[in-house]
Chains A and B, each alone.
Chain A
């Protein structure tokens, strides 16, 4: 509460001394001084850049336009451990944890974080799925002999994953889902340990399919809402939204898309590229041009990084703004989100979440006295959303908390 008062001068004075350089000095743009970890203990692996949201960095890597100096910084941050050409090299899908844990680190103890990072590099894989696959690798490599031991190991691994990146909602949700599944499924108590273990591993592997299946279900459900001749406004790059639009093209619908640029990672440009490949008429808008063009728009379609208990969503910075404009002009706002993105959070305002910061490159040096708002995401309250398309069905925002209870039951 003190943060929001006008006494920011006092706050700055109080906060300045212990503040680490990375968060407040965008002109230098060098990353945190913490050295890249060398010999990593399995559970003590630190996120090299705790002030920068790894989740949003990854999204930028997958979907944004990558500039060369960003790439250099990313390499510096990840360190020599990174597997070169990491995209898609996890074709060694079932080869187990140790082999995929790090190309250079032979003989290092198994690390769930490494495993997770490995999976995360695949651009098509959702965070929650990567988390669950990483946890499956934990099970595979575990030497526990009883379910309790296994559960304790899993809990430790899940906690370390969550602590590694506190900003990623789907990561937390994926870990929670899997943990609850393991602890709540009474079937596992009756079965013999080894078969239970193999069943858990099999289920976790299958969860990856669920991600694809969920996207297809969502695409199918949303088809009726896209009519011929409509104009859709999209924000940022969402794989689910892309799937929806691809399916609409396959169903021979005629529509056009307005893409916002999505600063600072400019993920909208990537989406525009993809749509252009599908021969969909695309128009790119700078983020400020949304209100200007809103009267031509028939509907807004966005993805979500997380769906919260109130029925609102957490998504790329700018979504709240677009929803406000759409609401004031009576345009429907549709959200496409898979069910594992539902999180047990209830933000009361924009600052009520763990901060997820992302450095912004303005291209010109910014004086050090000037602060930059580097938050990567915002919260859109449920009253500005019309419908959510999920693999559980088409939901109005008020249904979400009901479904959440069911999901985490």
Chain B
């Protein structure tokens, strides 16, 4: 579809450029990815059989490109995988409803997951519950029920069609429209969730910030700003220490905002964090991404703050919208999930041109400048995650991931068509 392709290309360009990251952050990226995928789905023509598979394929195709454009921006991959999970869920609930009256062989699902559904009549609630369960990781039944390796989604639609030939065509065409419709509805919900994540997190501020507390934060995060302001509005009086967050000094901007809202603020350098941490009651920070083991990819300097907080037994609270939750494990996050920015943020080229001259005779200069964007904070240093669904322990992250993502979507590369 040329129309959609143009949109995709434009978004790809923005991602590669890095402009979105620098200017708008992962929230905007997530939102735009969701909107883009919604247009892809609504414009996708799907065949009458194997509809979910076709949709999944289309989304994966676009998703692959998006992720490849900027692998460090994890929110893109997260949203792609959320959409894929939504497609699978909607398809499953449609087919279980369809199966309900037909009293046929078990509903097969993605490889490795199945549920023996022998009850001839299913109430709607049971169907919803069943659909929740079948998309969970395999259980005892699945260990002992051997399953074909190929994706069973086409299997599902075809077995549904085979059993009741009479109403086949009519059934299928209504189903095809319904699947797309359901998916787009769910996607709209997702976009709504992304939009309101800041408000939902900020609602919980009152439970965590108490009277006369001292909060420490580093750099600037919109989520943290709204969180603190929400507590202020509920008439809690507290003080905020802001570490400036070199080399970008975004802490200065946050300080200005907070003072404008009437909060008592103290600005400190990053190096002073360890000295001041003993006077702090709680550390509240934002995150770039939350990984599957509960580890956090956060702006540089936060690992140090987390270590200081652990040393002085100060709770380290991370605020993250659910679009930042990534189902992947961080294998080597300091290298693979990091971005090195320009040395000009640290040094003035004018003064240092002789040290950093790559063109001079001997080739490599003696002065190297490393300017990483992100830090990895291991899960044992985090006390609490506050997401739009509530407060969670780092060890609970796996449940959120199981709710939002399917195992099959972890690898976005499309497999070659399975032989039946």
Of A181, A227, A403, A408, the contact of B144 (CB 8 Å cutoff): A181
Of A190, A398, A409, the contact of B140 (CB 8 Å cutoff): A409
Of A185, A225, A393, the contact of B137 (CB 8 Å cutoff): A393
Of A210, A225, A393, the contact of B143 (CB 8 Å cutoff): A210
Q: Is B403 an interface residue (CB 8 A)?
A: no
Task: Decide if B146 touches A206 in the complex (CB within 8 Å).
Answer: yes
Task: Decide if A224 touches B329 in the complex (CB within 8 Å).
Answer: yes
Count of chain B residues near A, Cβ 8 A: 24
Question: Which residues of A (359-394) have their CB < 8 Å from a CB of B?
Answer: 387, 392-394
Known: A209-B146, A224-B331, A399-B398. A407 touches B140 (CB 8 A): yes
Task: Decide if A181 touches B138 in the complex (CB within 8 Å).
Answer: no
Known: A207-B144, A395-B398, A396-B398. A406 touches B139 (CB 8 A): yes
Task: Decide if B293 touches A387 in the complex (CB within 8 Å).
Answer: yes
Task: Decide if B144 touches A396 in the complex (CB within 8 Å).
Answer: no
CB distance from A286 to the nearest CB of B (A): 31
Task: Decide if B398 touches A185 in the complex (CB within 8 Å).
Answer: no
Among A180, A184, A339, chain B packs the most CB atoms within 10 A around the CB of A339
Q: Is B332 an interface residue (CB 8 A)?
A: yes
Task: Decide if B293 touches A396 in the complex (CB within 8 Å).
Answer: yes
Q: Is B399 an interface residue (CB 8 A)?
A: yes
CB distance from B338 to the nearest CB of A (A): 15
Known: A203-B145, A207-B144, A339-B143. A396 touches B294 (CB 8 A): yes
Of B118, B138, B140, B292, the contact of A177 (CB 8 Å cutoff): B140
Task: Decide if A394 touches B329 in the complex (CB within 8 Å).
Answer: yes
Tell me what chain B mostly uses at the interface: helix, strand, loop, or mixed: loop
Task: Decide if A340 touches B143 in the complex (CB within 8 Å).
Answer: yes
Flag B128-140 by CB within 8 Å of A: 1 or 0 each. Answer: 0000000011111
Q: How far is the CA of A181 from the CA of B144 in the complex (A)?
A: 8
Task: Decide if B398 touches A407 in the complex (CB within 8 Å).
Answer: no
In the bound complex, residues from chain B placing their C-beta under 8 Å from that of A399 are 395, 398
Count of chain A residues near B, Cβ 8 A: 33
Question: Which residues of A (170-203) have their CB < 8 Å from a CB of B?
Answer: 177-178, 180-181, 184-187, 190, 203
In the bound complex, residues from chain B placing their C-beta under 8 Å from that of A392 are 137-138
Known: A225-B331, A227-B331, A227-B332. A181 touches B137 (CB 8 A): no
Flag A198-219 by CB within 8 Å of B: 1 or 0 each. Answer: 0000010011011000000000
Sample (9) of A-B pairs whose CB atoms are under 8 Å apart: A185-B141, A190-B118, A203-B146, A207-B143, A225-B331, A227-B331, A398-B398, A402-B398, A406-B136
Query: What residues of chain B have their CB less than 8 Å away from a CB belonging to chain A?
Result: 116, 118, 136-141, 143-146, 292-294, 329, 331-332, 379, 395-396, 398-399, 407
Known: A187-B118, A203-B144, A403-B137. 18 other contacts (CB 8 A): A177-B143, A177-B144, A180-B140, A181-B140, A181-B144, A184-B140, A185-B116, A186-B116, A186-B118, A206-B146, A225-B329, A227-B331, A339-B143, A393-B407, A394-B329, A402-B398, A402-B399, A406-B140
Query: What residues of chain A have their CB less than 8 Å away from a CB belonging to chain B?
Result: 177-178, 180-181, 184-187, 190, 203, 206-207, 209-210, 224-225, 227, 339-340, 387, 392-396, 398-399, 402-403, 406-409
